[in-house]
Structure 1
Amino acid sequence: MTTAKDIMHPGAQWIPRYETLDRAAQMMRDHGLGALPVSDPDNKDRMCGIITDRDIVVKCVAYGHDPAQMTCGDLCEGTPRWIDAGSDISEALREMESHQIKRLPVVENKRMIGMISETDIARHLSDDQLAEFVQRVYAA
């Protein structure tokens, strides 16, 4: 059985909820990331959301807001999705498909230990499986 831990990017860069979006963009650039988990100010190991590069552009810059004034917490929406490290890859696929998300944090012993991205998925699926995944995640 291939698990979420087997296919994820190990390690996790976090950004606190109170940090500004320009700081999030700088961290993404410096670490070559497209998303950062956002930590709860009361518990830095507790995820309260995820901020993506697209969120910064579409929900901040495109509306004329200043990324140096908006915080990551301003853009966090909904319940963060995640998967247990020991879960089968098929469970990760179902979670990503059902919520139409492109990145999925991987948690072990209540701590985030990595992230599964589309690239990670692509490396472990057949062409047919990958096509089905893309269709479901990107469906309107």
Structure 2
Amino acid sequence: MTTAREIMSGGAECVRTDQTAADAARMMADLGVGALPICGRDDKIKGVVTDRDLVVKVLAAGRSPEEFPAGSLNQAEAVTIGADDDAEEVLATMTRHRVRRLPVIDGTRLVGMIAVADVARTLPHAKTGDLVEALSAD
């Protein structure tokens, strides 16, 4: 049985709720990623911010990235997966919530991220195709 821990890219970092959208953008650039988990002062994941969120919710809306709080970019519900959950649960969670990136937690601690690319590298093509189809459907 393949687990989330085996699929994920490790070493994920959080942008903090009290940091700014500009901080999130710099972190993404420095890390070479398109999404970051948003973590609160309690180190719990509050959501995920994507490069698209920064463009649509901050820049296109005429807000200042240097002043806009990263914590205001999180979703109503933080969608995560447990490190020891199996691949089927990873696929089901990504499909159900229509997310392309999924923080992986061990207890409440962030241990990695799973992106569609990680799924494509690890799981059979048919399963990856089903996920991409589900994420692309309107």
- Judge same fold: TM > 0.5, yes or no: yes
Match of residue 130 from structure 2: 132
In the alignment, which residue of structure 2 is the partner of 1:24?
A: 24
CA distance in 1, matches of 2:32, 2:60: 22
Q: Which residue of 1 aligns with 2:113?
A: 115
Aligned to 1:105: 103
Shift of residue 51, structure 1, vs aligned partner: 0.9
Q: Distance in 1 between matches of 2:69 and 2:102?
A: 22
Tell me the distance in 2 between the aligned counterparts of 1:23 and 1:7.
Answer: 28
Note the C-alpha offset of 1:137: 1.2
Matched AA of 1:75? L
* Aligned-pair CA distance for 1:132: 1.3
Distance 1:17 1:122 in 2: 31
Give secondary structure in 2 for the equivalent of 1:134. helix
Alignment of 1:40-79 (within 5 A): 40-41=40-41, 43=42, 45-79=43-77
Total equivalences in the alignment = 138
CA–CA separation in structure 2 for the residues paired with 1:65 and 1:109: 35
1:8 corresponds to which residue? 8
Distance in structure 2 (CA, Å) of the matches to 1:138 and 1:58: 19
* Stretch of structure 1 that moved more, 66-75 or 125-134: 125-134
Q: CA deviation at 1:53?
A: 0.7
Looking at structure 2, the residues matched to 39 and 114 of structure 1 have their Cα atoms a distance apart, in angstroms, of 13
For residues 125 and 44 of structure 2, what CA distance do their matches in structure 1 show?
Answer: 35
Cα deviation code 1:19-68 (max 9, x no counterpart): 11011100000001111111112x1x211111111100011111111111
Gaps of 5+ in 2: none
What TM-score does the superposition give when structure 1 sets the normalisation length?
Answer: 0.94
**How far apart are 1:125 and its partner, in Å?**
2.7
Structure 1 stretches of 5 or more lacking a match?
none
Give the letter for the 2:118 counterpart: D
TM-score (norm 2): 0.95
Task: Report the secondary structure of 1:106's partner residue.
Answer: strand
Q: Does 1:88 align with 2:86?
A: yes
Q: 1:7, CA displacement in angstroms?
A: 0.8
